Chains A and B, each alone.
Chain A
Amino acid sequence: MSHWPEATQDRARQIISRYPKKRSAVMPLLYLAMAEDGHLTDGGMEEVAEWCAITPAQVQSVASFYTMYKREKTGQYLISCCTSISCMLLGGDEVLAAVEDESGVPHGETDDEALLSVEHVECIGACGGAPAVQVNYELIEGVTPVKARELVNWLRAARPEVVNTDEMQQLFGGRRSFDWAIVEDGGAVGPYPAFQPLGTFQSEAST
């Protein structure tokens, strides 16, 4: 018996139908579970186990392998500061320090009202626009410590329902890895990637 709302269950069925084997749907379903509960709960993992016909322990073994499945309470805005080599060379550590200081949230922690989580992350593929920061995995390139502080305060004050990469780049970004060229609508609504798979893959499982 699923505890998910009907729309989420439809989504789960649709995702599973797109893979040749059910178990391959574990990763997208874990994102679905995070979107449902705000982070990955034990209940969410049990739900995924049922959908994929494997044990909760098997689901947990997958979830614990990947850094983006947050098994602790995570803020509405997850601020990820890159401190890998290219960002470090251009001040990534200072950007992280500014975010930690302005938010009062150290790396790996979440504030009391579950608004902001802060982490330093390994390379996010924005090295030409270093240092880079992501909010809910939406990218900002060419960030300075001053702009990073403004970003924290903006998230606190504006509390955008949807985190849009182009808006943040405009407000807080600088040099980019390359010309982004096209402005997007929409964005992320929680601390998980804003991506809905929509393909039409038909599998043996569904037919």
Chain B
Amino acid sequence: MTAPLLITKRMTEHPADSHTIRRYESTGGYRQAKRALEMTRDDLVDEVKASGLLGRGGAAFSAGLKWSFLAPARPSYLVVNGDESEPGTFKDRQLLERDPHQMIEGIIITAVANEVHDAFVYIRGEYPKPARRVQTALDEAYANGYLGKGIFGSGYDLEVIIHLGAGAYICGEETALINSLEGLRGEPRLKPPYFPAAKGLYMMPTIVNNVETISNIPHILAMGAGKFAGLTASADTGTFMMSLSGHVRKPGNFELPHGITWRHLIYDIGGGIRDGRELKGWIPGGASAPWFIPSKHLDLEITKEATGAAGSMLGSGAVIVMDEDTCMVRAAERVVRFFSHESCGQCTPCREGTTWLEMILRRIEEGQGRAVDLDLMVDVSDGISIDLAWPPRMTTICPLGPSAVSPIIALRDFFRDEVDAHVTNGGCPFD
């Protein structure tokens, strides 16, 4: 099953200069932005809605629907979310570095569709090089009159600036990102009432879309919503960037059609497991996603629906592969440590729960675990995410807390023996 490359086509065919405006324009770039200026807002929103494009930041919400929810108050704002920080994810970095004009054209179309004149690209602080590349591209676009006053000779003004983050995963959450952009601590806001489309940046209507989502917009206009929707046989439309890492022979970013199997992804595209070892498990959609194991999930299709039905999610498209020599307690500790470190501290279940989960996992790994510890972790997890249900039943403002529970579900359901072995062994059996 194959689908054409869309958002990685230019960088694949023209690796030396895919980031330049010259190459972008010689391969069809900026034609759709010009067209968008001649279309009505309704037509643009309807086109994206009809394409079925789902947000690629992790939540997989319909981009067109999001646009259609934009409240009528003005000014409205656009924020492109380039705060990519979900462990395992490095696709936006490649899109920002290698094809920044594709995103800028997506920004122009999205701005026109949502009556936006001020757009922000929020790039994580640890990505100075992607930020430099995008700034150079913005400068080129300004110089050509594609941004600024009266873009493309029209009466439409559009300003775009980069806002650099400073090392906080939580700022990838859209309301936290908005707080960060306002010069506040990056703490998520309550939804309702603070849905960005109604009360976003400076309490005005705001569209927040991920870099990959925005990069798809010019392609939807170029090929038409119908063709974009029909690229794969599954209900999920378009292509999907997956970041493959861990114990595979060939890690990397791959733009793929929906509906291939995990087996195909890991063994064919990823080249299989290093040194011919056995696959033990993988995280299917970034560190927040509940884990999969070969005996149950290897032949499932990679679609939003199939992954959700199996109790996990495609999230940001990051697949972290672990071989038979991996200590799953240690892996769980590392994932939970991340969420503990990145918890903003507003909500007690997350702040306290992630801290305790991290400490209990560490004591198990270091040989001080007790037989009751797994049940204790399940109990603590239940306080963060009621019944450990999927999708989570929230006790917190944002999904960060429930994300920390995913490795605990994996230990409970698939790797209980390994936890027990740590306890009876008085330490890690893999050391």
Contacts and interface: CB of A to CB of B under 8 A. Distances in A.
Interface of A: 18-21, 23-28, 30-31, 52, 54, 61-62, 65-69, 83-86, 88-90, 121-130, 134, 137-139, 165, 175, 177-182, 184, 188, 193-202
6 contacts: A20-B75, A31-B164, A127-B318, A181-B19, A195-B131, A199-B162
A86 B320 contact: yes
A128 B252 contact: yes
A139 B124 CA distance: 14
Nearest to B84: A125
Contact of B131 (A20, A21, A193): A193
Interface of B is mostly: mixed
A51 B389 CA distance: 48
B350 to A, nearest CB: 15
Interface residues of B, number: 75
A196 B139 CA distance: 12
Given A30-B166, A66-B165, A197-B162, A84 B126 contact: no
Nearest to B339: A122
B88 interface: yes
A125 B89 contact: yes
Contacts of A68: 125-126, 165-167
A69 B125 CA distance: 10
B244 interface: yes
A177 B132 contact: no
B161 A182 contact: no
B128 A137 contact: yes
B247 interface: yes
A178 B86 CA distance: 18
A48 to B, nearest CB: 10
Nearest to A34: B166
B130 to A, nearest CB: 9
Nearest to B20: A182
Nearest to A188: B128
Contacts of B84: 125
B181 to A, nearest CB: 6
Contacts of A193: 125-126, 128, 131, 164
B139 to A, nearest CB: 6
B326 interface: yes
B366 interface: no
Contacts of A137: 125-126, 128
B375 to A, nearest CB: 24
Contacts of B126: 68, 121, 124-125, 134, 137, 193
B183 A62 contact: yes
Nearest to B86: A123
A134 B167 CA distance: 13
B243 interface: yes
Cβ-closest 5 pairs across A and B:
A66-B166, A127-B245, A26-B183, A67-B167, A23-B183
A201 B89 contact: no
B142 A122 contact: no
Contact of A127 (B89, B124, B164): B89
B251 A24 contact: no
Contact of B87 (A122, A138, A188): A122
